[in-house]
Amino acid sequence: MSVKIFLADDHMIIREGLRAVIEKNTDMKIVGEAGDGRTTVQMVQEKMPDIVIMDISMPEMNGIEATRRIIRNSPHIKIIALSMHSDRRFVTEIFKAGASGYVLKEAALSELVDAINAIKRGCSYISMEIQKVMNKKLSKHPLYSELTDREREVLQLIAEGKSGKQTADCLDISVKTVDSHRQQIMKKLNMHSIPELTKYAVREGLTSLEE
């Protein structure tokens, strides 16, 4: 069954580009589009897509408020924010509103397909460039900096309460590999339990987009 996608962006040329990329995938179908936030909220309730690709900066109603209203009315619908902004406050607010993903417009359009696939698997998705912004504080931590990129991904998912199987599904790796990464993380951080890892990640801000 195809995943139903709604496009919300005030620039038609961007919507056309998104449509061209997304519809190359036979398991994805565009069911509607809009150029402002207010129309987006109305049409999403009519079309009931699985995923909305949401521009943050739109006329009449911005993407953050539109996301908030859509999630309030239909919490099963997933929102992927699409924005030119990498500023932490935009990321914070859209996730507070209920978004499941964040992709920069300057990123390759293929990254959007990666985000859609991640959301389909029940995972969240944040562009690598955004992750760098969000992890800037953590990167200064002498222990955290010793972790590989994949180990950091595993740590975040563990701290978010994902099981070994769920983490494996999100990262498209085996449960055995997840276990191996977890052991290496514990060794590098000198920690001995999942609660310790979770507490560390929360304290350092890894699992929260709050300032």
- Residue 181 sits in a domain of what CATH number? 1.10.10.10
Q: Higher confidence at residue 161 or residue 72?
A: 72
Q: Higher confidence at residue 173 or residue 204?
A: 173
**Number of independent structural domains in the chain:** 2
Token duo for residue 144: 């955290």
Strand order in the sheet with 78-83: 28-34, 3-8, 51-55, 78-83, 101-104, 125-126
* In-domain check, residue 210: no
Answer yes or no: do 94 and 180 share one domain: no
Answer yes or no: do 18 and 69 share one domain: yes
Answer yes or no: do 102 and 42 share one domain: yes
Across 89-102, average pLDDT: 87
209: nearest Cα among 160, 174, 147: 160
Answer yes or no: do 18 and 98 share one domain: yes
Across 17-23, average pLDDT: 91
* CA distances to 39, 83, 125, 168, 186 from 33, in Å: 9, 16, 22, 33, 46
The reported pLDDT for the residue numbered 122 is 86
* In-domain check, residue 184: yes
Q: In which domain, by residue range, is 146 found?
A: 138-204
Answer yes or no: do 94 and 195 share one domain: no
Answer yes or no: do 42 and 82 share one domain: yes
- Domain end, chosen from 112, 129, 146, is at 129
Contact indicator for 148, 190 with CB cutoff of 8 Å: no
Answer yes or no: do 116 and 179 share one domain: no
pLDDT tier for residue 207 given thresholds of 50, 70 and 90: low
Say what the pTM is. 0.69
Answer yes or no: do 17 and 100 share one domain: yes
Answer yes or no: do 25 and 59 share one domain: yes
- Decide if pLDDT at 133 tops 80: no
Contact indicator for 156, 204 with CB cutoff of 8 Å: no
Compute the C-alpha angle 111/117/123, nearest 5°.
105
Angstrom distance (rounded) from CA 58 to CA 63 = 6
The reported pLDDT for the residue numbered 211 is 37
